[in-house]
Amino acid sequence: MTAPVQLAEVRKVYGTGPSAVTALGGVSYSFTEGTFTAVMGPSGSGKSTLLHCAAGLDEPTAGEVHLAGIPLHGLNETALTELRREHVAFVFQAFNLMPALTVRQNVVLPMTLAGRSPDQAWVSEVIQRVGLGDRTRHRPGELSGGQQQRVAIARALAGRAAITFADEPTGALDTQTALEVLTLLRDQARAAGQTIVMVTHDPVAASYADNVVFLVDGQIVSESPAPTAESVAAELAKLSRLKVTT
């Protein structure tokens, strides 16, 4: 099975000298095709840094990242942008919606910019499944924060990108919508072969993933295949105690 996202001995250090902070301490991991992986850990464990390095949004201090089979080291910003546009979708806590565009226009915008024709039936289905079927003509300013997050999620899924990176994608959603979105993410990995990497602090959200990777102090310390909310919560509690005592 291929691995669209590969990290090899990735280190990320912020600052220099005595004040330097090591966010990632030599992480090696492969996110294989058609899998939904949750990344978890105590606050400050390096979760978001891992996601940003894996997505080519932040350059590692050392190590190698391959994205869609392409080594990122040495690529300039234009090449990185083109690579992400072709293969990657994002869901971040900042919605990054265009205020002058409607819900539907925002959802298809990445495809429009890439010169691809949207699958209109699939776009409609995704918008419906995130609970915005009656809001397609609304603009972001007419939506709540949770509704804007749903637009961002629909935008990420509509283009059927090979890889989706999601940072706390359900944090602003009500429970029912969150579960529907997580189900949609899981279905996209299993049915469409997408590779989905999700940072979350929520054991229930993580339980929808195929595998959970746990970080402590910038290192992968354990994994949980076929996770349940209970097993994830227990592992997080154990790791939090470990972090406190070390």
In this prediction, residue 44 carries a pLDDT of 87
**Domain edges within the chain:** 5-245
Mean model confidence pLDDT for the chain:
91
Whether domain 5-245 has CATH 3.40.50.300: yes
More confident residue, 181 or 210: 210
Which residue reads 């409609």 in tokens? 124
Q: Which amino acid makes up residue 199?
A: V
pTM over 0.85: yes
Kindly tell me if the per-residue pLDDT of 68 is higher than 80.
Answer: yes
In this prediction, residue 172 carries a pLDDT of 77
In this prediction, residue 48 carries a pLDDT of 92
Kindly tell me if the per-residue pLDDT of 11 is higher than 60.
Answer: yes
Backbone angles phi, psi at 168, to 5 degrees: 50, 55
In this prediction, residue 246 carries a pLDDT of 46
pLDDT tens per residue across span 207-241: 999 999 999 999 999 999 999 999 999 999 888 77
Q: What percent of the chain has pLDDT over 90?
A: 65
CA nearest to 223, candidates 11, 31, 51: 31
Q: Which amino acid makes up residue 216?
A: V
Kindly tell me if the per-residue pLDDT of 74 is higher than 50.
Answer: yes
* ∠ CA 59-34-111, rounded to 5°: 65
Kindly tell me if the per-residue pLDDT of 2 is higher than 90.
Answer: no
